[in-house]
Amino acid sequence: MNERHNLLLPILLMFLFALSRWPGLMPVNFSAAYALAFCAGVYFPRPLAWWLPLVTLTISDLALNLYYQSRGVDAFQPSQLLNYVAFALIIWLGTKLRPQAGWLNLISGGLVGAILFYLITNTAAWFFNPFHNPEYTRSLAGLWIALTKGTAGYPQTWEFFRNTLLSGGLFTGLFVGSMKLCEHLEASEEEQEPKSEDEQNPEHGQAKA
């Protein structure tokens, strides 16, 4: 990542990260958060790639809990703490790919990150909430219900997975495409810059024998 983007770009992306989590702004589980956590691992310098997304997640979680509590809803569940594990894994996945990796590899990484988030969070809901969700029996059948059907009275969890996967792929593609375009434009500008006299005449300035 170009030096001039080292601070501005991470701050802008974390603002989008937090904004995309605001209730009602997007369909349920359709968020830029998964893609931006992954891209933070790919593009942000260390250790900024780790602490900035996780701090943004913490602050936005506190804001969301205050928002729901002001409306008489206790939205916090202990299983939500595993969200941090899921996002940390997504960031870790991003650190395993280089910014110069192919577009398809980076998009695939963003999709894998979205799948990891869905599997971890829904498995946690199955494991930690058997009393709140009687359908989630401690069996493979109960886990299958948690991953596909979900709790009665709410949208089916496969719909959440669809939104998670679509948004992970879409926002990863948009961000990676933007970065690739910026790299191409910067390379073109460097090629068009006038060369110095020494570069134009390699023999110029060399001492004669």
Assess if residue 44 is contained within a domain.
Answer: yes
DSSP 5: G
Assess if residue 199 is contained within a domain.
Answer: no
Q: What is the mean pLDDT of the chain?
A: 80
Each residue's pLDDT tens digit, 120-146? 988 888 887 655 667 777 788 888 888
Q: What is the pLDDT at residue 194?
A: 61
Binned at pLDDT 50, 70 and 90, residue 207 comes out as very low
Which are the contacts of 178, defined by CB distance < 8 A and separation ≥ 6?
A: none
Q: How far is CA 5 from the centre of its chain?
A: 18
Assess if residue 197 is contained within a domain.
Answer: no
Predicted model pTM: 0.78
Instruction: Please report the sign of the dihedral spanned by the C-alpha atoms of residue 54, residue 143, residue 22, residue 96.
Output: positive
Assess if residue 203 is contained within a domain.
Answer: no
Say which residue, 192 or 56, is predicted with more confidence: 56
Provide the domain count of the chain: 1
Q: What is the residue range of 47's domain?
A: 3-190
Assess if residue 195 is contained within a domain.
Answer: no
Question: Which domain CATH number covers 104?
Answer: 1.10.1760
Q: Cβ(77)–Cβ(126) under 8 Å?
A: no
Assess if residue 141 is contained within a domain.
Answer: yes
Q: Cβ(99)–Cβ(41) under 8 Å?
A: no
Say which residue, 75 or 113, is predicted with more confidence: 113
Assess if residue 115 is contained within a domain.
Answer: yes
Assess if residue 51 is contained within a domain.
Answer: yes
Each residue's pLDDT tens digit, 89-124? 999 999 999 988 888 999 999 999 999 999 998 888
